[in-house]
Every structure is written in structure tokens, then in C-alpha cells.
Chains A and B, each alone.
Chain A
């Protein structure tokens, strides 16, 4: 075996990177995330089975029990399946965001994360690129779910499918950022079960994904307050309104604010000069 450094003598190095090189890096990270997703077909199927079970089984069963009155953005009474569909879209984003964080913990344990973190591109750019890749994969899952839901009678206006895209993107960014922030705090893959029990399920159930906020307020004012403090509440409402061609400005502003906060936290956490990783010495190898 003989090697040269990609053939030829060591060239003089340029300083910095051009915009094109940033795009090349972003594209590389997007492609890698997409390939990983394609290589894990069971991940795609399970990401669809979960919301579809809720739609086909839970919603069908509770249709007669849980009536939904006319509330914005709906102009008429809607079936329970129709009501919970935006929440299920949010559920896909929530699980996918957390799964993306799981993959970062896995990458750290397996050492793959190191190849990303030793790239000469700025750390914030690498993390945002990874985030965008995770969100892109999540959005594809949501559209696959919406396509199946259409055959089940959940038929929002055609424009809704287009208008929901920015809402899905923003909500996905918020939830993936949260996942990334949490991943910096998880030392081992096994700890992910804790995230499932203490983050994902409470966020999902303490939100208007399954029942309107006014109903929650009637039954438990305390739970209503918890729902209002839950970022996932605003992601669900943003998606719900967008799916019917409207903008819920309050939810929009809060989702943007939460995204900035979670993303900023994740970037700080992964910054070796101030972050948690170097303190925990868990970037995936021996110390």
C-alpha cells in the first residue's frame, strides 16, 4: 500500500471558505442524513405507524366520546380525526426531532460525531446544517402521513398542504433544536428512555394535540397553565392554522422565540470552549 496525500505535494492553503464551499458542506450533511434515513427503512415505517395508529384506532374509537365544537381555524364541526391530524403532524416532528438527538448521542458513542466536529467549518454552521437535515427528513415523513390521512377522509384545502410547509419547517426547527440541546446533556444512549418518559410524552399529552385548550381549561386549570408553558402547544396550533390557510401570529412568534432559545443553547452546549461536552468528556472516545 502506498499513499500520497490525495496525490501531489501539499499545496499552499487558502484562508477561509467561499459561499460555494459552505453550500457543498451543507449539501454533504443533508445527503448523509438522507442516506442514513433511507438505510433505516424501519425507522421510516415506525415513524408513520405511530401517528397512523392514533388516527385509525384512537381517533375512530374516541370519535363519539370527544366531540369538538366549532373553534378556529375550523368553520364547521369537524370529525375528531380531522382535529387530531395537526397534532399528529406535530407528533411526527417531535419524535423525529428527538430521534435526531438520539442519533447524535449514537454518533458520539460510535465516534462518528467526531468526524463532523473536527471539520474546519464553524461549529454553529455544522450544527445548523445537521438540524436542517433532520428537519428535512421529518417534513418528508409528515407529508407521507398527510397523504395517507387524505384517504382516511382528512382533506384540508389543497393550499393548506403548501402553506403548512413553513409551519412544519419552523416547528421542526424548534423541536430538533430542543433535541440537539438535550443530546448534549445525555451521556449515554441508554438515557434516551428518560427523554421519552420525561420529555416526549409530557410534551405531547400536555398540549392541544388531542383535545382543545378550552376543554383542558374546563377540566384542569393547572394542566391548562402547563399546556400554555409547553412549546409543543404552539407548534401544534401553528400547524393547525397553516393547514387551513391561516396564520396564528401568537404561536408563530413563540415558536420562533423557542427556536432561537433552543438553538442558541445547543450551539453553546456543543462549543468546546464553553459547552458541556468537554466537561463531560463524552465526545465519543477514550479520554
Chain B
């Protein structure tokens, strides 16, 4: 089992350890020999173009698909062998909106709490606290349908944190949001790493969401092309920025502002 040093120097099992993972849909291979580790209490970016295999990888990590080749461990718990122990340590924000639009914010959140065995009283206390922190206390009993895209995303992030997971996965969490909402959500998640020691695995195709101090994993056509600190990846490619490094590694012409997409 991979052990890594956390921000405070303590040796902990890796927040996420992916080893030798392959996945295919029929004859089409979408992930090939994926291996990497994510240190606890770090912000790690999974950077890749649309179709690189990010969502498939997330589906394997969250046990929606089974891992037929290779192993995935969350804080030392094998997702295939101990899915319950692995999943209770995992909070997920999916790319697609997953709130039930016919239910209220409270009903959506309390449903999630019950799916983690959290009783009504405790759930209400956590929901109230989380909504206060995202300035949405007044929307507690509003239907999810009445929320804007950015508000829905904030509720989904609050929902992912409701059961206090030490690892948070976000799949293209800022897609479809305006610049302000994107910046707010990204800043919030980054702050969680510092204040709460949560490990974050952030999948995106937007290069401007990557910072110098991040750990970055570049995924392209189902293969890991780079894995390390952003400055190390940039240096090893002989590039001047992560944008150039990405372009060099993937063979794509330098990406337009903000996006890695072709």
C-alpha cells in the first residue's frame, strides 16, 4: 500500500492510490495502465481534454464501474474489496447535475445524509451549518429546480461534504458556470484543503484552474502523460508554462485562454 507524507509531515496511506488500471468499453480501450497516487491534504488536478477518460476514471474510483484490471485504494481501502469503507471516505461531485429537481434543498441533502446513515437531527444540524457557510440558508426549503446553475453546484458540493469525507472528487465541477461562480467554487475547494485537511482530486479541461503549487496528472487518450508538481512537470518538458507543457505532451496546438480543449 502506497504511503505518502501529508502537509504536516505525518506518514499516511495515500488518499487515493490507483495502480495498473485498465478499462475498455467492448473493444475500445479507454484507460491504459493508469497508475498514480494522491497525497492526503493536497489539491490534485486531473487535467485532460474532453474524452481523455476522466469521467471513466471517476466512475471506477466511485465504484459505479468495477475495476477489472488493477487496483484502486482510498486511504488504504480497496474499492473492489471493501467498497463500503472506501466510499464512506469519499465525497463526489459529478459532472452531470444530480440534484432531484422536484425535491427541496433540504430534502436533497437529508436524502444524501440518510444514504450515509446520518440521523435526522444530526443531518439537520450539518445541513444548517453548511448552508450558512455558502450563504444559502434562505433557500433551505426551495425546490432545487428554482436554483441557478452556480447555486446547484454549491449545494452539490455541500452535499458531498455532508458525511465529512477526507477525500473529495470533483468532475468538471465548474463546467457551465459563469466566471465569478467558477472562481468562487475553485477558491472554496482550495480553502478546504488548507482549513480542513481534505484531499481534493479536481478533474478539469481548463488549464487556468491549475496553480503552480498543485500536483497535476495529465491524462490524454486514456494514458497518464505526466504526474507531479506543476513546476516539475513544466521543467521536465522544457516548457515555460503548464499550458505549453500540456500542448507539448498532448501534441495539441497551444490551448486557447482558459481551456485545454482543442
Contacts and interface: CB of A to CB of B under 8 A. Distances in A.
A69 interface: no
Interface string A246-275: 000000000000000000000000001110
Contact of B184 (A1, A17, A116): A1
B84 A35 contact: no
A176 to B, nearest CB: 20
A281 B59 CA distance: 9
A283 to B, nearest CB: 5
A205 interface: no
Contacts of A29: 111, 114-115
Interface stretch (A56-64, A80-88, A107-115, A153-161): A107-115
A285 B171 CA distance: 11
B62 interface: yes
Given A3-B130, A278-B66, A28 B191 contact: no
Contact of B85 (A15, A22, A111, A273): A15
Interface residues of B, number: 67
A6 B130 contact: yes
Interface residues on A, range: 35 or more
B195 A4 contact: yes
Interface in A1-30: 1-11, 13, 15-18, 20-22, 24-25, 27-29
Interface of B: 25, 30, 55-56, 59, 62-66, 80, 83-92, 94-100, 102-103, 107, 110-120, 126, 129-130, 133-135, 154, 157-158, 161-166, 184-185, 187-188, 191-192, 195-198
Given A28-B111, A120-B84, A287-B59, 12 more contacts: A4-B133, A5-B164, A6-B161, A6-B162, A6-B163, A7-B129, A17-B117, A24-B117, A24-B120, A25-B114, A114-B98, A285-B96
Interface of A: 1-11, 13, 15-18, 20-22, 24-25, 27-29, 31-32, 35-36, 39-40, 110-112, 114-123, 126, 272-274, 277-278, 281, 283-287
